[in-house]
Structure 1
Amino acid sequence: MKKILIFGTIAVLLIVVLLWFGKKNKASVIEYTTDKLITATIENKTVATGKVVPLEEVEIKPNISGIIDEIFLEEGVIVKKGDLIATVRVVPNEQSLNAAKGRISSVEIQVNNARISYERSKSLFDKGVIPRQEFENSELAYDRSKQDLANAQSDYQIILKGSAGSSGMANTNIRATTTGMILEIPVKEGYQVIQANNFNAGTTIASIADMSKMIFEGKVDEAEVGKLSVGIDLEVGLGAIEEKKFPAELTFIAPKGTEENGAVQFKIKADVELDEDYFVRANYSANADIVLEKKDSILAIKESLLQFDKKTEKPYVEIKTGEGVFERRDVEIGLSDGINAELISGVTEEDEIKVWNKASKDNDNNNN
């Protein structure tokens, strides 16, 4: 009985093994497709983020302090040099005004004294009592005192009204100093403004720029700035105009970088070639595509065909040597754009390269 059980167990195990081998033989064999090398143009690009701004933006500031009396133009208007933008009403300083009045009174006394002296000298000169030189000195003193009075009165008018006499170009008239578009008028009627001087930049009444001359201002990382050079071409894309790319030329690379979030960034500038069909506004956000390196019509391999050794991290492919038989081949690659990579060595144009369409234990064994 015991022998029957032993032989029965062996028979069952044998049947199980035979069934397993039969199922294994019926399993479908993994079939791989193949691909070959291609000829492609590969570019290594970087993107600089920034904005487009006018090449020159002029800020208009008053030559006298006061209050905005009236604004004649609005933002977006095209102006010519000399156009009136606003007027300023002078609010005189009481202390300066009193000082100016006191000076007028003082000079008037001097004028009266000089006039009396002049009239006396003239009478004596006409009678032949005094020489001509003495008379001319008296006349000169009288003329000087009258000029001093005119200057004092003029200073008083400037303090009081901002201009002297009937001057057509009074300091209270704020005019455009260049031709262009008014980008901004940051003040309103009734605002107090301060004149520009050696100690104060003054209040900006308007900013004007030529919108036909725009530049791109952006920043690039220190790892890529060494690959740039003045004169290379860029393509500028604007967030507000998605369907259009504007060509540009790099004109400036900052010699000094600034640290931002732990990375050193370098400022760049580029002249943008505008299109008359699109109106580009100042401070549009923009991205500039910069070609760091480019190779035309070179032998390339699709990066999807590459595998990397787990130990050495070097790339390799598998080349078809027979029906269902593949051989590992190490390759050397160069410039890559993320889709295709330049092939330097390891594969020929005639080689059929395995397309990695399914993971298998064989693949894992090849990596080890």
Structure 2
Amino acid sequence: MKKFLKILLIVVFVALLGFSGKYLIDSNSKSPIVFTTEKAFKTSIEEKTVATGKVIPEDEVEIKPQVSGIIEKIYVEEGAPIKTGDLIAKVKVVPNEQSLNSARGRVKNADISLANAQQDFDRNKALFDKGVISTQDFQNVQLRFDQAKQEVNNARNDLQIIRQGSTGGAKAITNIRASVSGTVLEIPVEEGDQVIQSNNFNDGTTVATIADLGRMIFEGKVDEAEVNKLKIDMPLKVSLGAIRDKEFDAKLKFIAPKGSEEQGAVQFKIEGEVFLDDSYFIRAGYSANASIVLDTKNDVLAIKEALLQFDRETEKPYVEIQTGDQEFERRDVEIGLSDGINVEIVSGVTEEDDIKVWSKTEPVKKEEENKD
């Protein structure tokens, strides 16, 4: 009997020990996080892209001198309005020694040819007056004489242009005038600077830059993944870094046919016509962002994008649907448009489903020490 009781006590002890162990294991395996849920909802979603760039004048003209020389006087300031024909600066001509020497030699050669033609003309005129030569022969001699006089005139004019910049005045000074109306954006030269004329082999020195600030465009770049979604005349919303809480309407007018690689990504240049507000003064070169709506869907079923999870192997999206108290099952979903906050659900979820907010973290336990 004692032996039976002893065995019974051992069995009871082992059973209690097993139940206690199972309880402790179940308690420890239970997650301390209480997951909440959210439901799908109907909303409108716009897929947008943002192009970073700047606003610049639609037409910007560089004024360059027609002669080389030194800036003697500047008559305008940066930021000043200007009209076509207004005087910008005066250039004191400094002739090129090689060109000057060549022009002087041409004048001497023309004078020698004229002297020879003069003698030939005088001799033949005397013969013509005596009736020795025909009228045709005399006219040919007279033609050569007149051409020699014209060559002398041309050579002397060329020499004066090289010396003075023009044939009109006695002073070696030429005027630089505005070819368009607008605002003077920049004057990159100062009085006393040497300038080079514009020709077939040289762009020349820019004396002033003029633009119409009433006609501005947005110039930016978009990624190759989005350029095929753009179309000419698409509306833009342009925001400027210098003007807060204001968006300007714009219209896409140009998409570059060729991209350029920047930091490993291919970017395409775009331009948009900006519709200005007269109450704001827009300066050339303001940094700007253009928001472009690529696609829009209204009254579609959506969830917060943060509720989505992605399979590590297939990278396909899925969510977890609540089936009981803190019990969830995986459900694959098909998604559509996304605006970065909400994402369209094409299939896999209904408005009645409770979707797990999986991104919750465990609470941090703090140990408090009691001090006497």
Compared CA separation, residues 161 and 130, structure 1 to 2 (3 A): same
- What's the TM-score once normalised by structure 1's chain length? 0.79
Q: Give the aligned residue type for 1:226.
A: N
- CA distance in structure 2 between the aligned counterparts of 1:332 and 1:297, rounded to whole angstroms: 17
Output the CA distance in 2 between the equivalents of 1:102 and 1:332.
87
Tell me how far apart the structure 1 counterparts of residues 87 and 184 of structure 2 sit (CA, whole Å): 12
Judge conservation of contact 1:121–1:130 (CA < 8 Å) in 2: no
Q: In structure 2, what is the Cα distance between the partners aligned to 1:200 and 1:329?
A: 69
Contact 1:63 1:171 in 2 (8 A): no
1:147 to 147, 150, 168: 150
What is the CA-CA distance between 1:152 and the residue it aligns to? 2.7
Q: What is the CA distance between 1:207 and its match in structure 2?
A: 1.2
Aligned to 1:363: none
SS in 2 for 1:172: strand
Q: Are residues 277 and 116 of structure 1, via their aligned partners in 2, closer, same or farther at CA, if it must alter by over 3 Å?
A: same
CA distance in 2, matches of 1:40, 1:339: 12
Number of the residue aligned with 2:279: 277
Separation (CA, whole Å) in 2 of partners of 1:226 and 1:109: 72
Q: Normalising by structure 2, report the TM-score.
A: 0.78
1:51-200 alignment, distance < 5 Å: 51-108=54-111, 111=114, 129-130=130-131, 133=135, 140-166=143-169, 172-200=174-202
Rounded to whole Å, the distance in 1 between the matches of 2:302 and 2:344 is: 4
Q: How far apart are residue 309 of structure 1 and its match?
A: 5.5
The 1:137/1:19 distance shift into structure 2, 3 A limit, reads: closer
Q: Which one is further off, 307-316 or 340-349? A: 307-316
Tell me how far 1:84 sits from its aligned partner. 1.1
Q: Is the 8 A contact 1:194 1:203 kept in 2?
A: yes
- The separation in 2 between residues aligned to 1:247 and 1:80, in whole angstroms, is 29
- Structure 2: how far apart are the matches of 1:352 and 1:333? 17
Q: What displacement does 1:139 show?
A: 5.3
1:207 to 202, 206, 209: 209
2:368 maps to which residue?
A: none
Aligned partners of 1:137 and 1:332: how far apart in 2? 96
140 and 302 in structure 1: CA distance in 2 versus 1, 3 angstrom threshold: closer
Give the share of equivalent positions with the same residue, in percent.
58
The Cα shift of 1:99 comes to 3.9
Find the aligned partners of 1:336 and 1:358 in 2 and give their Cα distance: 22
Structure-to-structure mapping, 1:200-349, within 5 angstroms = 200-308=202-310, 314-317=316-319, 319=321, 329-349=331-351
Change (3 A) 1:249 1:11: same
In 2 relative to 1, CA 110–32 (structure 1 residues): closer, same or farther, beyond 3 Å? closer
Say which is worse superposed, 102-111 or 186-195, in terms of deviation. 102-111
Native 8 Å contact 1:154 1:165 kept in 2 = no
Cα deviation per residue 1:20-51 (whole Å; 9 max; x = unaligned)? 969x99x9x98765543322111222222111
CA 1:30–1:215: 2 relative to 1, 3 Å: closer
Counterpart of 2:365?
none
Deviation at 1:60, TM superposition (A): 1.0
Q: Give a deviation string over 1:246-292, Cα, whole Å, max 9, x none.
A: 22222222222111222221111111111112111112222222222
Q: Which amino acid aligns with 2:50?
A: V
Aligned to 2:50: 47
What corresponds to 2:370 in structure 1? none
1:266-322: per-residue Cα shift (whole Å, max 9, x none)?
111111111112111112222222222221222222234445566665544455667
Relative distance call for 1:269 and 1:171 in structure 2 (3 A) is farther
CA distance in 2, matches of 1:340, 1:232: 24
Contact 2:92/2:173 (<8 A) preserved: no
Residue 183 of structure 1 aligns to which amino acid in structure 2? L
AA in 2 matched with 1:223: A
RMSD: 4.1
- Matches of 2:50 and 2:120 in 1, distance apart? 84
Shift of 1:174: 0.9
Distance 1:110 1:313 in 2: 91
Q: Cα 1:167–1:278, aligned 2, differ >3 Å: closer, same or farther?
A: farther
More off after superposition, 107-116 vs 7-16? 7-16
Cα 1:113–1:19 change in 2 (3 A) is: closer
> Secondary structure of 2:300's match?
strand
The structural deviation recorded for 1:80 is 1.3
Classify the secondary structure of the residue corresponding to 1:202: coil
Q: What SS does the aligned partner of 2:226 have?
A: helix
